[in-house]
Amino acid sequence: MALAAQRGWCIFQLDVKSAFLYGELKEEVYVDQLEGFVIRGQENKVYRLKKALYGLKQAPRAWFSRIESYFKKEGFEKSNYDHTLFLKKNGDKLLLVSLYVDDLIYTGDDEHMCTNFKSSMQKEFEMTDLGKMKFFLGVEVYQNKEGIHLCQKKYAKEVLERFNMWNCNAVKNPIVPGTVLSKLGSKNVDATPYKQLIGCLMYLTVTRPDLMFVVCLISRYMADPKEEHMMIAKRVLRYLKGTLDFGVYYKRSTDANLLGYTDSHYIGDENDRSLLGYTDSDYARDVDDRKSTSGYVFLLSGAVICWSSRKQGIVTLSSIEAEYVATTACACHGVWLRGILQELGVKNCECINIMCDNSSAIKLSKNPVIHRRTKHIDVRYHYLRNLSTEGAVRLSFVGTKDQVADIMTKPIKLDQFVQLRSWLGVRRLEEVN
């Protein structure tokens, strides 16, 4: 979507009717005769299925194999990095199709190819043409000449009403700066509604990266939630009440500065501006096991395209090591993103630019000498050093005040939170119309 917005492509949507019934079975599967349709005198016989039915565990795989064979017949290539993404090239023209079960979205730079694809699909399968993409898996999509805005306003309203928070007072940030949580608390609360609330909030992070840190933080306590955990979850709902129509906005522009960063942030070659990552960690914030929190974001077309906030799997012994572990995770995801972008025809993305606010971690990624302060670091995290040596990743220093990934690792002050939220490309719908 970020690429389509940047290049001014329109995204369309199709829906396959009774998709699983098209799947052809390779295994022997038998079913009883349907109640009310039993053949007299042959009550002890069963049917052998040639095609899939809803409810069969083989049905999803059979359907995917069926539509995958159709795409191959039509000249599509399956992405090596995302097996539900299919590409068709005709000279310098490109058609992209993304599949989610029976829902398809497609876009490209040639209107004739898009029209032919839709006609071919309608001949092969019984389809519902939903036209220009507006609503997909709970995400509201607003497309115009200036860009694409994604939000979940309708779903967010349903969540507030479900948990009786529609009439609550709004707050301006989802978590109070300096908040520290622990498994130990004053009083237990019912775990079932708490888990339901966390599940709803997790789905909202699809278009709300500003919620990612706090939702991942409170999700650590689902096994035994306390009153203070529920209070923070309700504060997130209060923040949501005041930001219902916020979402990610991808701009249309050929200006390199809108590919994800501004000149004040970027350090590097003028001709190598296609993808930018930020990575950060918060050292030993978890008071229960003293593990650090890693966070990263990748920006394209003026907004964030992927983001992560996650507690590290190991206990690190220094802030340098915590940053190094976080940067390695960021680099791994960046390599995957680079592969997809290259398949989509994006040039100048051979080297991924990652901004880090710890100069020692940057030096460690370039220094092959293993000394007593770093010899304990797991070998897998030195994968970053290999990427840096090969030129696949370029680490650059960024000041802490310009570190966009801060919003993924810790509770921050309101003015900084608002600034970082805008750098992520999170906008109100009314601001982009």
- pLDDT value at residue 271: 33
Pick from 172, 248, 208: which is nearest to 418 by CA? 172
- Long-range contacts: 216-225, Cβ < 8 Å, 24+? 216/309, 216/310, 216/311, 217/175, 217/181, 217/309, 218/181, 220/181, 220/286, 220/311, 221/181, 221/183, 222/191, 222/194, 222/195, 222/198, 223/191, 224/183, 224/188, 224/191, 225/188, 225/189, 225/191, 225/194
DSSP run (H or E) holding 327: helix 319-343
Give the integer Cα–Cα distance in Å for 419 and 30: 60
Q: What is the pLDDT of residue 260?
A: 44
The pLDDT, as a whole number, for residue 262 is 41
Which residues of the chain fall short of a pLDDT of 50? 256-273
DSSP for 112-128 reads: HHHHHHHHHHHHHS-EE
Structural domain boundaries in the chain: 12-132, 138-252+429-433, 256-402
pLDDT value of position 426: 93
Give the architecture-level CATH label for domain 256-402: 2-Layer Sandwich (3.30)
d(CA 186, CA 183): 10
Query: Which pTM value belongs to this model?
Result: 0.87
45 Cβ contact partners less than 8 Å away, ≥ 6 residues apart: 33, 39
pLDDT of residue 421: 94
Residue in the structure block whose two tokens are 């009550």: 43
CA 79 to chain CA centroid, Å, is 17
